[in-house]
Amino acid sequence: MDETTHIQDSSDADDPAAMAEMLAAYKLEHRRIDAEIKALSETGAVDVLKIRRMKKIKLSIKDQITYLENILTPDIIA
């Protein structure tokens, strides 16, 4: 997944099915990056710069996940 891909730039912003699919893809990518960070940290050869970049990408993906979840989950006013 390209780190510059954002839902705000997408033409699928009004399609709930497309947003749900994108949300699933973001979650999968987030887990993949997390596993890769853990694997790099557990090996003896730690590339601090690479891990830092991966964490920034992971945070960006997490922001997109939160954004999509907020759009797909209706506000309930009690």
pLDDT tens-digit map of 25-53:
999 999 999 999 999 888 867 788 999 99
Q: How many domains does the chain have?
A: 1
Residue 42 counted as domain residue: yes
78, amino acid identity: A
pLDDT in tens, 14-24: 788 999 999 99
Using the CB atoms, write b or e for 32-43: b if 16+ within 10 Å: ebeeebeeeeee
Q: Say if residue 74 is exposed, middle or buried (CB neighbours under 10 Å; 0-12, 13-18, 19+).
A: exposed
| % of residues, the chain, pLDDT over 90 | 54
pLDDT in tens, 50-67: 999 999 999 999 999 999
Residue 51 counted as domain residue: yes
Residue 2 counted as domain residue: no
Residue 3: what pLDDT?
Answer: 46
Residue 74: what pLDDT?
Answer: 79
User: Which residue segment(s) compose the domain that 46 sits in?
Assistant: 15-72
Looking from the CA of 52 toward its CB, the CA atoms found within 13 Å total: 3
